[in-house]
Amino acid sequence: MKVLVINAGSSSLKYQLIETESEKVLAKGLCERIGLEGSKLTHSPEGKEKYVEEKPMPTHKTAVQMVLDALVDEEHGVIADINDISAVGHRVLHGGQYYSDSVVVNDDVKKVIKDCFPLGPLHNPANLIGIEACEDAMAGTPQVAVFDTAFGQSMEPKAYMYAIPYKYYEKYSIRKYGFHGTSHKFVSGRAIKFGELDNSNCKVIVCHLGNGASISASVGGKCVDTSMGLTPLEGLIMGTRSGDIDPAVVQYIANNENLSVDEVLNILNKESGVLGISGVSSDFRDLSAAAQEGNKRAQIALDAFIYRVAKYVGSYVAAMNGVDAIAFTGGIGENDCDTRYKICQYLGYLGIKIDEEKNKERGKEIYISTPDSNVKVMVIPTNEELAIARETLDLVK
């Protein structure tokens, strides 16, 4: 079976066509600058030359059509007919409290995605447009919504409630949801298999450290806590997001700089994090290089990032009364050995011992702890597209 995975953003659309038996990627690509000047499709078919097409893409509908045309093209295509695609799996940011699992799209599902626009104002509208564009172009092909918030739905009220007047939860569903759920579910699942852990009781912490970063705690594969909140702004220090701060900071900046709450939130989302502290970059490779050259703010940014991750791990160990395995994933978690090592140095009290040689490995499934470490520490590369393809297959086969 061939499943098309779509991740539609406000002006972009990423895709992968996956053969589900072999789990091979037949083609992948990206539509950029949808609705803007200079839009472009970059299509990478397996075993063939990369194909780039610069053509106006006024809407996501045009983008989807260009993707489908590229997939069946005689030269750079990988399938003979659009009907060879058995189903489409869509990454959808926010499913609110409605969905704790992936679901085949129908009118009710589309209504929920729409009802969640206020909770995911940048992504949910684009996700819905992506779904509707595929429905138009591929009538009769099942569309599946895979929610980034689904994994977090197993949290108990003590973990997801904010200590604010209850009426705001009742009126506006304000609570912690958590994001990166597809990745946390995939990686914790792999950690259980790779680590040969007890399926029903194992305590796993996943550190998804990329430009966006979050941590989850799960027991027996079910999420009990996670660091992102109502929006992806809460939790860890990220590339450009502040993560946890005293909410009074918003008022203080707004009053002193004569900015609106929306403007301050924009600063907290896009100009903060390690970029904000360092003034250098949101990219960890740039930060490490700058720190090595003696840039103090870059060093503080790196130290603060690592410290925050270690604090979260510690709090989740307390929340679960123990931990069996810790898995690192995401661009930083999979590749940045130094950051991994420094996080683990905070965790010696758990009896964690890191094998420095093994920790030099990047981007593959591996233990980085020693055999006598009290907790299994591993690197598990995430693969959100494959996870979406698997969820889609499960629902339509």
Q: How many CB atoms lie within 10 A of CB 231?
A: 17
- Which of 69, 73, 136, 148 is labelled catalytic? 148
- Binding site residue list for ATP: 14, 208-212, 283-285, 331-335
Which of 281, 152, 286, 265 is CA-nearest to residue 208? 152
Say how many CA atoms lie within 13 Å of 366 toward its Cβ: 17
43 bridge partner residues: 29, 51
Shortest reach from residue 339's CB to ligand ADP, in Å: 7
- Closer to ligand ADP by CB, 72 or 310: give it: 310
Active site residue 303: no
Shortest reach from residue 92's CB to ligand ADP, in Å: 17
Nearest to ligand ADP by Cβ — which residue?
331
Can you give the C-alpha Rg of the chain in angstroms?
Answer: 21
- Binding site residue list for substrate: 91
Phi, psi of 203 (to 5 degrees): -105, 115
Q: Alpha helices, DSSP H only, in the chain?
A: 60-72, 107-115, 124-137, 157-160, 166-172, 181-194, 248-257, 261-270, 273-278, 284-292, 296-320, 330-335, 337-345, 384-396
- Closer to ligand ADP by CB, 384 or 391: give it: 384
- Find out whether 371 and 385 touch, Cβ atoms under 8 Å: no
Compute the 3-state secondary structure of the chain and give helix, strand, coil in percent, each to the nearest 5.
40, 20, 40
Which of 30, 179, 10, 13 is CA-nearest to residue 93? 179
Shortest reach from residue 337's CB to ligand ADP, in Å: 8
Shortest reach from residue 94's CB to ligand ADP, in Å: 17
- Closer to ligand ADP by CB, 144 or 213: give it: 213
Q: SS3 for 41?
A: strand
Shortest reach from residue 261's CB to ligand ADP, in Å: 25
Amino acid, single-letter form, for residue 73: D
- Binding site residue list for Mg(2+): 7, 384
- Closer to ligand ADP by CB, 189 or 210: give it: 210
- Closer to ligand ADP by CB, 69 or 361: give it: 361
Task: Please state, in angstroms and rounded to a whole number, the distance separating the CA atoms of residues 256 and 362.
Answer: 45
Rule CB under 6 A: which residues touch ligand ADP? Answer: 210-212, 239, 283-285, 330-332, 335-336
- Binding site residue list: 7, 14, 91, 208-212, 283-285, 331-335, 384
Shortest reach from residue 230's CB to ligand ADP, in Å: 19
- Closer to ligand ADP by CB, 84 or 283: give it: 283
- With tokens 């590749």, the residue in question is 335
Residues acting as catalytic residues: 148
